[in-house]
């Protein structure tokens, strides 16, 4: 989005030397202050990626996996051999940060599931969702969204701005202010949060849902999403990338909501 829309929808910019995971790995991610930590696990090898809040791979770190010192493999990239080759869990240490990760080596490939879930996204008529976007452990914005196909969006930042976007027009209002109309770029909606999907694996399942982790090279970002099995609706998404630690909870699928110009 453009104008005064929250940064929740702005893709991160890929910096030179971005530490992408190796193809086919099972991937995990977490926040560490303003940094992104990511783990890519392959039989016999693990890669730890560390990205700064400015979008650069962080070099010169002391990184270990299950007590074995990792070797640098590029900006923000650290690799180590795994012994045994398929441990049930690994302990990642990056500086003072400790991270215990269970690795489900039998996790099914999730590429087909994510392709189907992405198609369901694009076929929706409407949905609502809550979004929490943080740049580090202390700075966060919470926003409520309404989306109506093909090009209507409304959002309300908690304690902040509101906006309504319809086609090529938008209306913005600051707290206590009046609505101000202006031109807008037409937004195609609904669209999933991710741009592309690689290294997708179903890392956990319940009777009703599947949890999938993957890497999105188009943003770039690491994702952890929950897909409802019956409808293939995305229920929850975590995205972690440069200064963007995002949690979104989705609902109201095709619930007949409407978005009109503010009165």
Tell me what pLDDT residue 137 has: 86
13 pLDDT higher than 80: no
Closest by Cα among 100, 46, 105, 55 to 75: 55
The answer to whether residue 10 scores a pLDDT higher than 60 is no
- Model confidence at 257, pLDDT cuts 50, 70, 90, reads very high
Residue 217: alpha-carbon gap to chain centroid: 11
Give residue-wise pLDDT tens across range 231-252: 999 999 999 999 899 999 999 9
CB 245 within 8 A of CB 134: yes
Q: What is the structure's pLDDT at 17?
A: 74
* 36-81 pLDDT, tens digit each: 999 999 999 999 999 999 999 999 999 999 999 999 999 999 999 9
Sequence spans of domains, the chain: 19-102, 109-251
- Residue among 113, 126, 129, 144 nearest 226 (CA): 113
Distance CA 210, CA 232 (A): 9
Please give the model's pTM, rounded to 2 decimal places.
Answer: 0.92
* Same fold yes or no, 19-102 and 109-251: no
Task: Copy the structure tokens of residue 104.
Answer: 């489900």
Q: Report whether CATH 2.40.50 matches the domain 19-102.
A: no
The residues pairing with 134 across neighbouring beta strands, listed in sequence order, are 140, 245
Q: Look at residue 2 and tell me whether its pLDDT is greater than 90.
A: no
Rounded CA-CA distance 83/66 in Å is 9
Order of all β-strands in the sheet with 126-134: 180-183, 169-173, 162-166, 152-157, 140-148, 126-134, 244-251, 234-241, 221-228, 209-216, 198-205
Residue 16 has pLDDT above 70, yes or no: no
pLDDT in tens, 186-200: 999 999 999 999 999
Tokens standing for residue 220? 């770039």
Tell me the pLDDT of the chain averaged across its residues.
Answer: 93
Domain 109-251 has CATH 3.40.190.10: no
Peptide bond into 196 cis (omega under 30): no
Supply the pLDDT for residue 107. Answer: 98
CA distance 151 to 166: 6
Tens of pLDDT along 108-142? 999 999 999 999 999 999 999 999 999 998 899 99
Token reading at 83:
């012994």
Is the pLDDT at 15 greater than 90, yes or no? no
Span 152-182, pLDDT tens digits: 999 999 999 999 999 999 999 999 999 999 9
User: Residue 22, by phi and psi: left (phi above 0), alpha (psi -120 to 50) or beta?
Assistant: beta
CA atoms 155, 247, 19, 50: torsion sign: positive
The DSSP letter of residue 70 is P
């Amino acid at each position: 989005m453009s104008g005064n829309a929250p940064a929740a929808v702005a893709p991160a910019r890929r910096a030179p030397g971005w530490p992408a995971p190796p193809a086919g790995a099972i991937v995990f991610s977490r926040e560490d202050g303003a940094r992104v930590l990511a783990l890519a696990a392959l039989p016999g090898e693990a890669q730890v990626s560390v990205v700064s809040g400015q979008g650069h791979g962080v070099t010169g770190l002391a990184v270990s996996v299950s007590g074995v010192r990792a070797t640098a493999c590029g900006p923000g990239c650290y690799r180590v051999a795994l012994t045994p080759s398929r441990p049930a869990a690994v302990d990642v240490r990056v500086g003072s940060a400790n991270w215990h990760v269970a690795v489900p080596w039998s996790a099914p490939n999730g590429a087909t599931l994510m392709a189907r879930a992405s198609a369901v996204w694009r076929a929706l008529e409407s949905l609502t969702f809550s979004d929490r976007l943080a740049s580090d452990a202390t700075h966060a914005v919470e926003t409520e969204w309404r989306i109506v196909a093909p090009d209507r969006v409304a959002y309300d930042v908690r304690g902040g701005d509101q906006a309504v976007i319809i086609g090529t027009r938008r209306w913005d209002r600051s707290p206590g202010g009046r609505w101000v109309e202006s031109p807008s770029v037409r937004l195609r909606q609904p669209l999933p949060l991710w741009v592309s999907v690689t290294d997708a694996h179903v890392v956990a399942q319940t009777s009703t849902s599947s949890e999938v982790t993957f890497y999105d090279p188009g943003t770039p970002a690491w994702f952890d999403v929950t897909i409802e099995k019956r409808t293939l609706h995305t229920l929850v998404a975590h995205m972690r990338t440069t200064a963007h630690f995002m949690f979104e909870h989705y609902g109201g699928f095709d619930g007949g909501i409407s978005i009109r110009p503010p009165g």
